[in-house]
Amino acid sequence: MTRSELEHLIRAAGAIADDREIVVIGSQSVLGQFPDAPAALRASMEADVYPRNRPEHADLVDGSIGEGSRFHEQFGYYAQGVGETTATLPRGWRDRLVPVNNANTRGITGLCLEVHDLALSKYAAGREKDLAFTAVLARHGMTRKEVLLQRAAQTRLAPALRNMVKGRIGRDFPAKRR
């Protein structure tokens, strides 16, 4: 997905949900902070979104421009209507949302996860594709270990999962040899 495709989804989701703010919480939220993100981070053709002020309309968005819809068939990408609790996120994530609002969004503001919050949600999910995503973020210097560890401490996680998340962060940021 490209930044302009994400902007198109934001515009369409806002119009469908009758909401001027669309929260983007999936991997493609990286395009808010990094419009020219590496191709490996833009591989998904789906954006996980929900209307900020009308979250009950997420299903309407999903049914209208979701997977298998006419929109998806026509453009090759789609929005997945999700809920706010879909991703495991650290305290304060709403205060760090990255706005996307320009001529292409036509007055609708996309609110994308800040990259460290996005990475934390991926570390917590722990699927192979999520861990490949976080590794690319780290390799390209888009995330910092200290910030990730701080945010992990601010995330509601079971103790075993917290330890796994810390280990996953450590794998992405190996100690430098002297």
Domain map (residue ranges) of the chain: 3-114, 116-172
Q: Can you give the pLDDT at residue 174?
A: 86
User: What is the C-alpha separation between 10 and 150, in angstroms, rounded?
Assistant: 30
Q: Is the pLDDT of residue 52 over 70?
A: yes
User: Taking 90 as the threshold, does the pLDDT of residue 177 lie above it?
Assistant: no
Tokens linked to 108: 């609708």
pLDDT at 163 over 80: yes
Q: What is the pTM of this model?
A: 0.95
CA distances from 153 to 25, 27, 77, 132 (A): 20, 21, 35, 22
Q: In the structure, what pLDDT confidence band is assigned to residue 127 with cuts at 50, 70 and 90? A: very high
Contact 123/152 with Cβ under 8 angstroms?
yes
23, pLDDT greater than 70: yes
Q: Does residue 178 have a pLDDT over 90?
A: no
Phi, psi of 64, deg, nearest 5: -90, -45
Q: In a 10 Å sphere around its CB, with 0-12 CB exposed, 13-18 middle and 19+ buried, how is residue 75 labelled? A: middle
Strand bridging mode 21-24 / 46-51: antiparallel
